Chain A
Amino acid sequence: EAQVTQNPRYLITVTGKKLTVTCSQNMNHEYMSWYRQDPGLGLRQIYYSMNVEVTDKGDVPEGYKVSRKEKRNFPLILESPSPNQTSLYFCASRGLNTGELFFGEGSRLTVL
């Protein structure tokens, strides 16, 4: 089954404690992306990657890092989380020649 898998699905952490949200896709997609979704602000793009070792900033990259060492994986790293990073995070992927994004189920992060 084609899918995008994120882990963890739910996480409560404290300010400053580094965390990583993993994302894996099994569709051999070149393009992968991270979004955050907040009430009243909609979905906003954090980072995206066009292929292995190629990453670019989206609209709200501050406080986040990503890496793309393998085609299937695109982890999101919060080096020093702060309460304003409390949000619902989505990973998504697509082929380079299509616009249809496949989304993961989401990771709800709370930073105290």
Chain B
Amino acid sequence: EDQVTQSPEALRLQEGESSSLNCSYTVSGLRGLFWYRQDPGKGPEFLFTLYSAGEEKEKERLKATLTKKESFLHITAPKPEDSATYLCAVQARNMLTFGGGTRLMVKP
């Protein structure tokens, strides 16, 4: 059974304080690992797809990396508008399995 575990569950940062979110996974036949951002009351919004170990993707203050067992979402010098829940998901076959998410709060 595919499993995705995200840590920490919640993270409080000061504006400008860089940190990383973790996504550990076990899956049979990984087709892709995805990161989404979800704001309260909204649907998840796509951020990145990673397909193979060693791959990295960047977007503004966010950088996603992938190993054979986990992925990291690095946030450099975060701003209050980066506050959201970040979801990790793995795709095997035709289904996505999501982790529980990390709720990020960035204080000014």
Q: Report which A residues bind B (CB closer than 8 A).
A: 4, 31, 33, 35, 40-45, 48, 50, 56, 58-59, 90, 92, 99-106
- Whole-angstrom CA separation of A58 from B32 in the bound complex: 18
**A102, B95: Cβ atoms closer than 8 Å:** no
- Whole-angstrom CA separation of A42 from B97 in the bound complex: 10
- Whole-angstrom CA separation of A100 from B91 in the bound complex: 11
**A99, B99: Cβ atoms closer than 8 Å:** no
- Whole-angstrom CA separation of A95 from B98 in the bound complex: 19
Complex contacts, B43 vs chain A, CB 8 Å: 4, 90, 92, 103-106
Query: Is B69 close to A, CB under 8 A?
Result: no
Given A42-B98, A58-B95, decide whether A105 and B42 contact each other with a Cβ distance below 8 A.
yes
For window 37-85 of B, CB contacts with A under 8 Å fall at 41-46, 49
**A103, B94: Cβ atoms closer than 8 Å:** no
